[in-house]
Structure 1
């Protein structure tokens, strides 16, 4: 082609730019959820000196919140005058712990649950297993790290039935620890378990298995069943503990996006933190095991995390009925400029909603009154 007939460089750049925009909208743009309330930007931010308050909890006296953070510690909020103070830690190896990245030897506390009658704090650590620390804090001790001959690789969230003196907790994978959680979501493996631990007999029994990255877990108000959500599929599974269906399981609900922790509300419903919304490229990897395996071997983890949320930070929480599993409410920060990577939504008796984040260095509180 004569030089005079070649397309100008600006035209080629414009075509490529248009193609990139179209490709992004088709493959990477997050879902547009219907009927959401864009009110999370109104929440008050309480910064932390460490990243990743994945789970938050209050002690039996109502003090807190306590926050499980990325450097292996549990911090306690003492109000604006004192701020965040160290309460406990899961590993004695503190020499090289980072406030921004997971160091496996330091542990990674995730789900937190206080036992009301003792004041003990139970901790699911994504590397070490289920831990416990007394009301005075300090170094946590191991409670359980094996069940039915298999090591607990990825303890994630738990709930306590104090009347029966048992714990129920998630082991999200038999291959990966917390840092590789996104590979667990995409590679198709179904090694997630729900484990019942009897505090008196020390027996750890698997009550649900064949789960795909089961993440959050909570008992319902009368302790007749528990629910656990799969981050990979958005399915919320139910396991019946009492009644004529005891020992059986079913699908309780399905929620949008990639769900994380579950918390029971004072009225008996459930809040689920949603890490981010889904997109087409994510669905392709989730629904094609070979593609998920290829991604696991070839795609850097940081890029995979960005791809999951369309390279746009988001903040989302979903409320479902404690009786039917129906989605009752979806709250979000559509622009993700204020709240991001919500791992937990915790409704208190005063109606305030508190939010944790698996990555961000903050918790948020929304006063809906």
Structure 2
């Protein structure tokens, strides 16, 4: 270019747009950098599953499994490399138009799974139908509870059982949204989430915690003296004391980086929490400013919202916290999403292996840290 010659507009506009795109990405969309993570989850073994979204995993009292709750309303059981996944149970009798990739409300959407050791019954939180159970032989699950204190259970999410007391606790994440709109439930500033205690002897369902914002995971601690439940959007882990001198009171147990999903107790008494995605400035703004959240709900498709929150590059992350103090003990991730995506649950087995579920992806992963 000759001295004094102007740069043509056709040349400067795309360069300016490119620079603006990079700046906006780095300042608005790019996820937070989480300190102290171990980028090892890409080393896990992938076990493909023929249906999307093995959101929760569980093993029966005989140690068989895992069982996985999937998007088409079924519970599948892993029978090893030779037999693969087989159907075990389903939550709705309406199976005519169920999809292996998308939620069909009439088919139900099983989420959190919990086996009762003394009976072999599998309890299922369904994001449309409530809490159900099915016997050791599987088949169609039967309804246990779908309302509490005069309000319908809209979004049963995860649960845990206290077999000594013959009760279980479960999340009802929203009074407006079902599972298919889970991201909107986390986005909108509505504090309608609650934890419900169900007494199996009296058949009474009692609300023990309320005013929660899309509470997702739930687990009892090792001696069943308290439970914790996680708010997806805020990263706060709330504790509710079920027994002892503090029974009936609540406090904040931990604050976790990322958008939280299921919680599982470890054999040693700590907790693993699945992290669906890291936080970003844009996602925080949508959550903080109610008007912006409502605007997004009305104008943006759910798939686009999920893509933006995940930077269009879903990845995997898991956080381990102390079962006594709530202190973060370890953070694992697949930083580039090479294998793991949309992690919903981390289940640590007695042999030390970590099993991972996904709320959207058609795979289960297992990491042998030894």
TM-score of the superposition, structure 1-length normalised? Answer: 0.98
What secondary structure, in the 3-state scheme, does the structure 1 residue paired with 2:23 have? Answer: helix
1:327-342 to 2 correspondences below 5 Å:
327-342=328-343
What secondary structure, in the 3-state scheme, does the structure 2 residue paired with 1:349 have? Answer: coil
Q: What residue in structure 1 maps to residue 252 of structure 2?
A: 251
Q: Show CA shifts across 1:46-105 (max 9, x none).
A: 000000000000000000000000000000000001000000000000000000000000
1:16-165 to 2 correspondences below 5 Å:
16-165=17-166
Gaps of 5+ in 1: none
What secondary structure, in the 3-state scheme, does the structure 2 residue paired with 1:127 have? Answer: coil
Query: Deviation at 1:299?
Result: 1.3
- Determine the C-alpha separation between the residues in 2 that align with 1:156 and 1:220: 18
What secondary structure, in the 3-state scheme, does the structure 1 residue paired with 2:277 have? Answer: coil
What secondary structure, in the 3-state scheme, does the structure 1 residue paired with 2:181 have? Answer: helix
Q: What residue in structure 2 maps to residue 190 of structure 1?
A: 191
- Determine the C-alpha separation between the residues in 1 that align with 2:273 and 2:46: 19
Query: Deviation at 1:223?
Result: 0.2
Q: What residue in structure 2 maps to residue 14 of structure 1?
A: 15
Query: Deviation at 1:289?
Result: 1.3
- Backbone CA RMSD of aligned residues: 0.9
Query: Deviation at 1:308?
Result: 1.1
- Determine the C-alpha separation between the residues in 1 that align with 2:23 and 2:145: 50
Q: What residue in structure 2 maps to residue 217 of structure 1?
A: 218
Query: Deviation at 1:7?
Result: 2.0
Q: Show CA shifts across 1:281-302 (max 9, x none).
A: 0111111111111111111111
What secondary structure, in the 3-state scheme, does the structure 2 residue paired with 1:229 have? Answer: strand
1:295-334 to 2 correspondences below 5 Å:
295-334=296-335
Worse overlay, 12-21 or 57-66: 12-21
Count of equivalent residues: 366
Q: What residue in structure 2 maps to residue 167 of structure 1?
A: 168
- Determine the C-alpha separation between the residues in 1 that align with 2:305 and 2:327: 31
Q: Show CA shifts across 1:143-197 (max 9, x none).
A: 0000000000000000000000001000000011000011111110000000000
Aligned 8 A contact 1:215 1:261 in 2 = yes
Query: Deviation at 1:8?
Result: 4.3
Give yes or no for the alignment of 1:236 onto 2:252: no
Aligned 8 A contact 1:193 1:214 in 2 = yes
Q: Show CA shifts across 1:10-43 (max 9, x none).
A: 3321221111011111100011110000000000
What secondary structure, in the 3-state scheme, does the structure 2 residue paired with 1:345 have? Answer: strand
- Determine the C-alpha separation between the residues in 1 that align with 2:172 and 2:366: 29
- Determine the C-alpha separation between the residues in 2 that align with 1:45 and 1:9: 48
What secondary structure, in the 3-state scheme, does the structure 2 residue paired with 1:292 have? Answer: helix
Q: Show CA shifts across 1:233-276 (max 9, x none).
A: 00000000111110000000000100000000000000000000
- Determine the C-alpha separation between the residues in 2 that align with 1:120 and 1:242: 25
What secondary structure, in the 3-state scheme, does the structure 2 residue paired with 1:275 have? Answer: strand
Aligned 8 A contact 1:313 1:337 in 2 = no
1:346-357 to 2 correspondences below 5 Å:
346-357=347-358
- Determine the C-alpha separation between the residues in 1 that align with 2:71 and 2:204: 30
- Determine the C-alpha separation between the residues in 1 that align with 2:47 and 2:163: 31
Aligned 8 A contact 1:125 1:154 in 2 = yes
- Determine the C-alpha separation between the residues in 2 that align with 1:35 and 1:144: 42
Query: Deviation at 1:345?
Result: 0.3
- Determine the C-alpha separation between the residues in 2 that align with 1:308 and 1:191: 23
Q: What residue in structure 1 maps to residue 266 of structure 2?
A: 265
Gaps of 5+ in 2: none
